[in-house]
């Protein structure tokens, strides 16, 4: 078991509705895995399970060979190692961009603002927001807010990053700037799992594409295989609708 | 030539000229202002003409609106009102503190702390369910009745405690509604960064929640300023009681009108300000 993150038979239900019906998935170190699938197929839920925002009902999640899904285990140390970025940014509206980014490192890692400043400034500059650090979220465009949200997650120096349709709330002309950030992270060798509707992007950069359908991974493989020669009828039907 | 000039000014390099729509809206505004003014004038006039025609008007005027008594008692009333302000001033911060504490009690999740949660719920139910004046009587007469030594038999202490207990219950409910109004995704974002529940509450949820409920809490504190007068029932000679003293002295009710004016001078601006904040917030949310 050499994968960075492994899911085995993961099940999750909300009331009577089983959203994940036994998911098996391996994410290797430095890999980028894309989850695709129709609305309601369980992509967001699966991502939230991976960093323990939702407890799973059955199965197991392994991080570096360590079972993190054990019931009763403290989720906080795991969440520090797995960052997540949401579709709706979820920045803290009463804090400036830089305060948003520094809160968790200050409180969780006990670093001071002065210690953090150089590293945080570097992140903002790298993602083209060097002059926006002291702005409040409502003074930023959607694309800028989403980049701040990514910086906020990166500032905890996570080993894995999860992205939940981070471009779907953005105006088309702002999508590019956020995808560039992902390309940049990809080059740095970050391990990433994305739920996405950007099929072109998935095809260009993913190591592995997983097609989710009604809580199951129906098909997975390299993008050429899944996009170029899908085996399953339902995958073909989905792709013909979105491409 | 002239036609051309006209055309140019209509094209609007002079911003002063109103557009057709602005002109229309201005005329509508003028018209409704005229109607409002007229109807107000009619109502006021009838009050001023009809009320003095009432058979008891002379007597009422003498005992409630006596200029001489007013001038003699007003400074004393103002002085007594200082006591109201002082009681308010030491109660308000304590109420905010206790209210916040109770609100937090009601939000704890850990099973070991369930008693706190229960306490918070019972507390707010009890103190919101009782008339303020009853609590003041029970605590204000009950506790000093234990025969405590000075200064612990002071009605100031126990009367204030009664106000604090009651108002903290209301403030707690307001703060809790503020906490509930913060969207779950904010907590999820904080948790996903590895923040503890306590830090999430302190740095993410509470600052937003409290800002949202500032206007509602202001209204509570305005009510508190008025309810300070209830302490007069257990002893302190604040403005209401002082007015009563003057009433007996001059056999005239004018001091009560003076006291009412003093209260209004404080509460009306405060209420307006709270309304202004509330409107501003509603507009921002839309
Ligand atoms: N907290 C919850 N309580 C109850 N049902 C939920 C909850 N969260 C998600 N669901 C349900 O789980 C199913 C999968 O939702 P999920 O958000 O994971 O889908 P998705 O693939 O991310 O869809 P989309 O592309 O629209 O984001 C949906 O039917 C949804 O209604
Ligand atoms: Mg989703």
Over residues A214-242, the pLDDT tens digits come to: 999 999 999 999 999 999 999 999 999 88
- All residues of chain A having their beta carbon less than 8 Å from the beta carbon of residue B192 are 51, 53, 79, 83-84, 153
- Binned at pLDDT 50, 70 and 90, residue B61 comes out as confident
Task: State the residue for tokens 């056999």.
Answer: B251
- In angstroms, the CA A168 to CA A28 distance is 26
The answer to whether the Cβ–Cβ distance between A108 and B211 falls below 8 Å is no
Query: How confident is the model over B133-151, as a mean pLDDT?
Result: 86
What per-residue confidence (pLDDT) applies to B5?
47
Query: How confident is the model over B5-26, as a mean pLDDT?
Result: 68
Q: In this prediction, what percent of chain A has a pLDDT beyond 90?
A: 84
- All residues of chain B having their beta carbon less than 8 Å from the beta carbon of residue A93 are 208
- Binned at pLDDT 50, 70 and 90, residue A91 comes out as very high
Query: How confident is the model over A137-141, as a mean pLDDT?
Result: 94
Pocket residue to mutate for ligand 1, from A44, A165, A211, A242, most atoms within 8 A of Cβ? A44
Alpha-carbon gap: B180 to the closest alpha carbon of chain A (Å): 16
Cross-chain CB nearest to A79 (options B186, B193, B208): B193
Closest CA to B163 of B225, B107, B213: B225
Query: How confident is the model over B102-123, as a mean pLDDT?
Result: 90
pLDDT value at B174 more than 70: yes
Stronger pLDDT, A63 or A72, i.e. the higher one: A63
- All residues of chain A having their beta carbon less than 8 Å from the beta carbon of residue B201 are none
- Binned at pLDDT 50, 70 and 90, residue A6 comes out as very high
pTM of the model: 0.83
In CATH terms, is domain B76-280 a member of 1.10.3720.10?
yes
What per-residue confidence (pLDDT) applies to B285?
57
What per-residue confidence (pLDDT) applies to A78?
93
What per-residue confidence (pLDDT) applies to A56?
94
Query: How confident is the model over A22-44, as a mean pLDDT?
Result: 94
**DSSP bridge pairs for A67:** A62
Query: How confident is the model over B57-65, as a mean pLDDT?
Result: 87
What per-residue confidence (pLDDT) applies to A243?
78
**Nearest residue in A to B207, CA atom:** A94
Q: Where are the alpha helices (DSSP H) in B51-183?
A: 57-64, 67-105, 114-128, 132-142, 155-180
Of A48-62, A93-107, B44-58, B80-94, the least confident: B44-58
Give Cα B21 distance to the centre of its chain. Answer: 40
What per-residue confidence (pLDDT) applies to B142?
86
- All residues with CB under 5 Å from ion ligand 2: A 44
What per-residue confidence (pLDDT) applies to A67?
93
Highest averaged pLDDT of the listed ranges B55-64, B143-152, B215-224: B215-224
Stronger pLDDT, A1 or B127, i.e. the higher one: B127
Which positions ≥6 away from A76 have C-beta within 8 Å? Answer: A108, B194, B195, B196
**Nearest residue in A to B188, CA atom:** A53
Highest averaged pLDDT of the listed ranges A161-165, B63-67, B230-234: A161-165
What per-residue confidence (pLDDT) applies to A169?
84
Cβ neighbours, 10 Å, residue B5: 9
Expressed in angstroms and rounded, the spacing between residue A14 Cα and the centre of ligand 1 is 9
- In angstroms, the CA A231 to CA B48 distance is 91
pLDDT value at B143 more than 90: no
- With a 6 Å cutoff on the Cβ, whether A41 touches ligand 1 is yes
What per-residue confidence (pLDDT) applies to A242?
85
- Binned at pLDDT 50, 70 and 90, residue B15 comes out as low
What string of H, E and C letters represents the secondary structure of A139-200?
HCCHHHHHHHHHHHHHCCCCCEEEEECCCCCCCHHHHHHHHHHHHHHHHCCCEEEEECCCHH
Residue A74 touches chain B, beta carbons under 8 Å: no
What per-residue confidence (pLDDT) applies to B104?
93
Closest CA to A159 of A44, A43, A50, A59: A50
pLDDT value at B278 more than 90: no
Q: In this prediction, what percent of chain B has a pLDDT beyond 90?
A: 62
What per-residue confidence (pLDDT) applies to B59?
87
Give Cα A104 distance to the centre of its chain. Answer: 18
> Domain segments of chain B: what residues?
2-51, 76-280
Cβ neighbours, 10 Å, residue A196: 22
Closest CA to A127 of A69, A185, A83: A185
């Amino acid at each position: 078991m050499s994968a960075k993150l492994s899911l085995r038979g993961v099940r999750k239900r909300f009331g009577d509705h089983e959203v994940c019906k036994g998911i098996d998935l391996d994410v290797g170190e430095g890999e980028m895995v894309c989850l695709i699938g129709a609305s309601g197929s369980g992509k967001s839920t699966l991502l939230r399970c991976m960093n323990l925002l939702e407890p799973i009902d059955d199965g197991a999640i392994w991080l570096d060979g360590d079972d993190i899904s054990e019931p009763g285990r403290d989720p906080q140390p795991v969440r520090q190692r797995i960052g997540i970025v949401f579709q709706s940014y979820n920045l803290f509206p009463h804090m400036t961009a830089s305060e948003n980014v520094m809160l968790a490192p200050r409180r969780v890692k006990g670093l001071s603002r002065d210690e953090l400043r150089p590293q945080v400034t570097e992140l903002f500059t790298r993602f083209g927001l060097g002059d926006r650090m002291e702005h409040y979220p409502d003074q930023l465009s959607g694309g800028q807010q989403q980049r701040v949200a990514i910086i906020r997650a990166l500032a905890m120096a996570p080993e894995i990053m999860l992205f939940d349709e981070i471009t779907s709330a953005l105006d088309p002309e702002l999508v590019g700037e956020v995808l560039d950030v992902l390309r940049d992270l990809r080059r740095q060798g970050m391990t990433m799992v994305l739920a996405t509707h950007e099929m072109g992007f998935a095809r260009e950069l993913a190591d592995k594409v997983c097609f989710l359908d009604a809580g199951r991974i129906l098909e997975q493989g390299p993008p050429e295989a899944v996009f170029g020669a899908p085996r399953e009828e339902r995958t073909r039907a989905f792709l013909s609708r979105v491409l | 030539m002239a036609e051309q000039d006209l055309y140019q000014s209509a094209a609007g390099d002079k911003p002063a000229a109103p557009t057709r729509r602005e002109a229309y809206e201005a005329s509508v505004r003028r018209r409704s202002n005229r109607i409002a003014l007229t109807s107000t004038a009619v109502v006021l006039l009838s009050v001023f003409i009809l009320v003095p025609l009432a058979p008891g008007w002379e007597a009422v005027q003498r005992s409630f609106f006596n200029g001489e008594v007013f001038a003699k008692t007003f400074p004393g009333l103002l002085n007594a009102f200082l006591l109201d302000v002082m009681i308010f001033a030491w109660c308000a911060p304590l109420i905010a503190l206790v209210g916040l504490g109770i609100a937090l009690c009601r939000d704890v999740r850990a099973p070991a702390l369930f008693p706190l949660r229960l306490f918070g719920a019972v507390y707010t139910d009890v103190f919101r369910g009782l008339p303020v004046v009853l609590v003041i009587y029970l605590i204000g007469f009950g506790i000093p009745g234990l025969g405590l030594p000075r200064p612990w038999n002071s009605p100031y202490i126990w009367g204030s405690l009664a106000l604090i207990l009651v108002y903290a219950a209301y403030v707690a409910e307001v703060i809790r509604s503020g906490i509930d109004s913060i969207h779950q995704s904010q907590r999820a974002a904080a948790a996903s960064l590895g923040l503890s529940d306590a830090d999430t509450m302190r740095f993410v949820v509470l600052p937003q929640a409290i800002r949202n409920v500032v206007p509602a809490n202001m209204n509570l504190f305005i009510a508190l300023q008025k309810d300070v007068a209830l302490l007069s029932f257990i002893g302190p000679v604040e403005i209401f009681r002082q007015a009563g003293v003057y009433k007996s002295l001059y056999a005239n009710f004018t001091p009560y009108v003076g006291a009412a004016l003093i209260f209004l001078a404080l509460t009306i601006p405060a209420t307006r300000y709270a309304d202004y904040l509330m409107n501003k917030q509603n507009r921002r949310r839309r």
